[in-house]
Amino acid sequence: MGQITEINGVNVTKKLEFKALVTKDPSKADNINTLVARWVGGSRSRVELKDKVVHLGGPGEFDAMQMLLATLAACDVDLMATHASLLGLKIESLSVEATGHFNAQSYLGLENAPASAYDAISYIVRVSLPSATPDQIAYLRERCERSSPVRDSLMRSISLKFEFKANS
């Protein structure tokens, strides 16, 4: 694999350099993201992180709960593309299908309603890697089970600090 610099649209050289850097100094893998969502009108918001912008909500757009599922699916697409590329495997096809159930009663302000949160999420990773060995397939499956940041975040209880500031 020494000659491969890019495969599947992934810059393998840069990924390996970053991996080596993190091996020497694990703090280089730390990330803190602060983004801001601003109301645009209706149920639409503009979300900004540095120079990146995405819109959520509104007609024809993902709502926040759909985007939560989308981040899980997209995270595993990225994870699979990265690790398949690091193994030197050409991806023929890759998709992640995510399904979740939640009840919107609480969101609508109804009393004694269940929480407006996903109570179940399932997802399927489908990948075609014609040259992969069974050991490589097992390794990639393990990466999905153990290395997906969004999956890991959804599976654990994380600290969530809430503040509410309004003008009086």
- Whether residues 76 and 147 fall in one domain: yes
Do residues 70 and 98 make contact, with C-beta atoms less than 8 angstroms apart? yes
User: What is the pLDDT at residue 157?
Assistant: 84
- Whether residues 74 and 43 fall in one domain: no
Domain residues for the domain of 142 are 63-155
Q: Tell me whether residue 44 is in a domain.
A: yes
Q: Tell me whether residue 168 is in a domain.
A: no
Determine whether 36 is exposed, middle or buried from the number of CB atoms within 10 Å of its CB (0-12, 13-18, 19+): exposed
- Whether residues 51 and 78 fall in one domain: no
Q: Tell me whether residue 80 is in a domain.
A: yes
Residue the block writes with tokens 């495997």: 89
- Whether residues 83 and 126 fall in one domain: yes
Report the C-alpha gap between 63 and 56 in whole angstroms. Answer: 6
- Whether residues 69 and 47 fall in one domain: no
- Enter the pTM of the model: 0.89
pLDDT tens by residue, the chain, 168 residues: 456 789 999 999 999 999 999 999 999 999 999 999 999 999 999 999 999 999 999 989 999 999 999 999 999 999 999 999 999 999 999 999 999 999 999 999 999 998 889 999 999 999 999 999 999 999 999 999 999 999 999 999 889 899 989 986
Q: Tell me whether residue 3 is in a domain.
A: no
